Amino acid sequence: METKTFKNKKEFFISPSSPFHFDGTFHKPSHYPNKLSDWKSDRYWQTIRISKRIFGVKIENKGETQKPKIKVSVFYDKNISEDELEKIKQEIIWRFDLNADLKEFNNLAKSDKRFYPIFKKWLGMRNSSAHNLYELLIIAVLLQNATVRRTVQMTNVLLDNYGTKLKFDGKEIFAIWLPEKLNDVSEKELRDLKIGYRAKFIKRLSQDFAEGKIDEPKLRTLDQESAKKEMMKLYGVGPETARILLFEVCHQYNTFDHIAPWQQKIYSRLFYEKPLVSANKIRDNIKKQYGEYSMLAVHYIWEDIFWRRKHEKIDWLEKEIRL
DNA sequence: CATCAGGGCCCTG
DNA sequence: CAGGGCCCTGAT
């Protein structure tokens, strides 16, 4: 593992579209714990790679829901150009969907008698991804067919071997390796880290990205159907992984199509207070109610229950999360 | 102790 | 388009 310490710092501000919810956007309690970011109320840290160069980023809330403003501090070594700063700014705006127009969605939420309190509580929250396509793809592959504990284990062993530990602002935050880092790493070496059949996926995906076969900027501009088609071409990407990528990386709000069995159980409780409702019924009802914003609406309700879980014991939920 | 399904996907028939 | 196999782990 590579370790770097960055002491130089430059700052700039971003004004997200209003309304905006800082903590809901920068922290997702449903995600598994990892060393790739850190969060305290109104403060957030992560690493970011811009044209293969790595930076430390601290983001602070300096505004209010209706008058949003965030301060970004970029940590680097040696020097940084205006161009790089601008690229970082634009990338943060994209990844955290800071320019989102959620007027229509918020109107929809208002007419939802049952869940309005939740939508109101998280008003201005964005669906976001701290990571780029390759990085989130790696995470998604590590989620496949694994319990949380195992996913955490696999993430850590890979980061310890190929990642970068970045020290900045008194924090130690990791970055996922660049795809070409695995050029000279064999599938067997990966396999020996106990990541199982995923070694094959990660090896092949890294190769494809290193060779520049995937055009992330273009994928971000495609309509949902075309983007999904392109994602599914990636080795190891099926319906569930494509859904994650489309929602988090491409900010497609209406990706509530594939429902995994464990999600189905949680949705059944959340929406029907029953142990098990058929996936088709769940999907149809949600799509009918939230239309183009199906996944986004579910995201609000989903994250809300995981926020509650932080300080409240929810027995049925504990049972459905495989730790 | 053994067996099995699982925070999916690929491949084969 | 159905079903087996895949790495491992935890539940039974």
Dump pLDDT digits (tens) for A200-242. Answer: 999 999 999 999 999 999 999 999 999 999 999 999 999 999 9
Cβ atoms A1, A160 nearer than 8 A: yes
Instruction: Give mean pLDDT, residues A91-118.
Output: 96
Half-sphere exposure of A136 (CA within 13 A, CB side): 20
**Which two structure tokens, joined as six digits, stand for A221?**
């501009």
CA atom of A194 to C1′ atom of B1, Å? 24
pTM: 0.96
Question: Is the CB atom of residue A147 positioned under 7 angstroms from any atom of strand C?
Answer: yes
Q: Give the Cα separation of A120 and A6 in Å (integer).
A: 39
**CA A32 to CA A111: how far, in whole Å?**
32
Domains of chain A: 2-97 (3.30.310), 133-248 (1.10.340.30), 261-321 (no CATH)
* Whether A322 CB is under 7 Å from strand B: yes
What is the per-residue DSSP string for A58-100? EEEE-S-SSS--EEEEEEESS---HHHHHHHHHHHHHHTTTT-
Q: Is the CB of A99 under 7 A from strand C?
A: no
Residue A299, SS3? helix
Strand B proximal to A240 Cβ, under 7 A: yes
From the list A242, A235, A251, the residue with the least C-alpha distance to A292 is A251
Q: What tens digit of pLDDT does each residue of A69-95 get? A: 999 999 999 999 999 999 999 999 999
Nearest residue to C5 via alpha carbon and C1': A197
A53: CB partners within 8 A, 6+ apart? A84
The answer to whether strand B lies under 7 Å from the CB of residue A147 is yes
